Amino acid sequence: MQTDSSFTFVLFGGTGDLSMRKILPALFEAHRAGGMLADSGKIVAVARHVADRAAYIDWVNEHVKPHVSKNGVDETAWASFLDRIEFVKIDLGNPEDFTLLRDALSGRPGIRVFYLATGPSLFVPICHALASVGLNENSRIVLEKPLGYDLKSSNAINDAVGEIFAEEQIYRIDHYLGKEPVQNLLALRFGNVLFEPLWRREWVESIQITIAEELGVEARGDFYDNTGALRDMVQNHLLQLLSIVAMEPPHSMDSDSVRDEKLRVLRALKPIDPRDIGKVAVRGQYHAGGIRGSAVPAYATEPGVKPDSTTETFVALKVEIENWRWAGVPFFLRTGKRLADRVAEIVVNFRAVPHSALGASALRGGANRLVIRLQPNETIRLYCLAKQPGEGMNLASVHLDLAFDRFFREGQMEAYQRLLLDVINGRLALFVRRDEQEAAWRWVEPILNEWAASNKPPKPYAAGTWGPAAASAMLAQHGTCWLEEEN
């Protein structure tokens, strides 16, 4: 990941929550590690609510510093990191202000990266303003989600941005793709002969992908009430994880080889007949309940949320892939807010043995499974059955455990750190290509349309539980259940 490439990293939304919690801390960690960022590389923050660089540095010290380095801040490294930061005050609604940015960037060597940590409504105006002052040449642009509200609006944004930046200049970020266990999933599958022969319908009974949150909508009620869990999490994060789990082996790890295989999975998703949505899709909304002993309010009473809102805060789906490898294997996707735990994981349930001379326990489903935990603790566990000590042939579940923090002495790289370095170094493999995004929207849209046309409200669930009972019932019809006991 080391680079000698000079760069200028321009951060739009420089005082926003994403910049404070993720982007600037990730850049600091890359700086602190040494050798990952060229010494000549600079960070140019863009905002309008700060007077000048001195005021911006004060803001960084107050708001960003608490989010860096879990084991404390190296003050020498922090001071040298602040030396990288410059500031340009711009009103994004005034294209003429972009001449100030052009002048600030004039004569700088190396690549320019424009990171749009803003609302999607500003993506196109910013791109037009950059082009008006000639800053779209020799540049890369990073777009945060959500990229549109549906297929039509997503295409409108992509069309407008694509008129200014070539596809190879556009980095559509999905931070789940930068997580260490997701990278290890690729290594596990394509670096080991042990697993790949089993990674198919003959040996896999079902696959679960869960992204569960304990948090509610926090201060994002206005945004979330017009978005919902299907747009916010399924169309991007969950379908991206699904495509990596199910993809065919690429011929190499270059950007288009990986993304071509992901696209084939997305295009092979079985279309959902609107008449069957009630059978394969569950939507819910959290009511008042408790999280870790503290009472939390219902979604409908959160600030910015309409009292009669029918926006879903929970989605569970049964997905099928119509190709040779996965025909007949159900993929179960689940995401929600105010659930019983914060966890993101992939569970591969292998089939039971066809005949057991060791008793019925060897025939139960889920005896062999692979659990890939993405958060909060990043691990990979392989479960199998072993004989319990003592008389008789009594079997018990045991597991092989790869806990990255114990196995690898060096610290893990956070997702945003990896992805930002990939942008600076021009590596596109972990970013979403336009045709991938279109395929995901095209598959999701019938569900969105059916829910919008339906008068049925989301199914209620108490905060602090695992969601509506209908989500468990959907799996029970296939003789399985959600994995919820792992901690």
Q: Which residues are catalytic?
A: 237
Sheet with strand 42-47: strands edge to edge: 85-89, 42-47, 7-12, 111-116, 139-143, 170-172
Q: Are 148 and 155 in contact (CB under 8 A)?
A: yes
List, in sequence order, the alpha helices (H) in 212-301: 221-225, 228-229, 239-246, 255-268, 277-280
Look up residue 26 and give its DSSP letter: H
Cβ(281)–Cβ(312) under 8 Å? no
* Dist CA 422 CA 198 (whole Å): 32
Structure-token pair, residue 52:
């000048």
Residue carrying structure tokens 């959290």? 286
Find the largest Cα–Cα distance for the chain.
83
Closest CA to 486 of 189, 206, 210, 245: 210
Q: CA quadruple 477, 478, 483, 485: dihedral positive or negative?
A: positive
Q: What residues have CB less than 8 Å from 284, skipping those under 6 apart?
A: 312, 313, 314, 315, 336, 458, 459, 460, 461, 467, 468, 470, 471
Please name the residues in contact with 441: beta carbons below 8 A apart, sequence gap of 6 or more: 148, 150, 151, 154, 235
Question: Token match 């072993």: residue?
Answer: 386
What is the Cα gyration radius of the chain? Answer: 24
Exposed e or buried b per residue across 64-78, where buried means at least 16 C-beta atoms within 10 angstroms of its C-beta:
bbeebbeeeeeeebb
